[in-house]
């Protein structure tokens, strides 16, 4: 499995006495939330029952698409694509993101 967690995140198996935010779930939404908060200086505890990114987030198609979307969603989709393009550099890790094409 590709490790997508920055080195600044650690696990001691102990619950911290105090954090600003507790994020439940280490899928794409939970890890993205924890990363964004930590980059802003918020102390975060990320709780996951299994392996980070190994549940549904590790099995879905993982598409970041613009084609076939409602026009109101396009700006958010474009922002998402930009975020994924920079994620390896942002985390210092290989995320597995690949930009490829599709034909209908």
Residue 7: the pLDDT is: 47
Residue 4: the pLDDT is: 47
CA distance 82 to 97: 12
Of the CA atoms within 13 Å of residue 31, those in its CB half-sphere come to: 19
DSSP 58-82: GTS------TT--GGGHHHHHHHHH
Strand partners, 23: 46
pLDDT digit string, tens, across residues 24-76: 999 889 999 999 999 999 999 999 888 887 777 767 766 778 888 899 999 99
What is the average per-residue pLDDT within 12-32?
Answer: 89
- pTM for this model (two decimals): 0.72
Total residue count of the chain as it appears in this document: 104
Residue 23: the pLDDT is: 96
Question: Residue for token digits 């619950």?
Answer: 15
């Amino acid at each position: 499995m590709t490790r997508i967690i920055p080195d600044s995140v650690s696990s001691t198996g102990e619950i911290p006495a105090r954090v600003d935010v507790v994020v439940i779930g280490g899928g794409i939404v939970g890890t993205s939330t924890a990363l964004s908060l930590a980059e802003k200086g918020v102390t975060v505890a990320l709780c996951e029952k299994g392996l980070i990114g190994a549940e549904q987030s590790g099995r879905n198609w993982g598409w970041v698409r613009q084609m076939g979307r409602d026009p109101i969603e396009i700006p958010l989709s474009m922002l998402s694509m930009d975020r994924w393009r920079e994620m390896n550099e942002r985390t210092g890790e290989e995320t597995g993101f690949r930009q490829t094409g599709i034909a209908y």
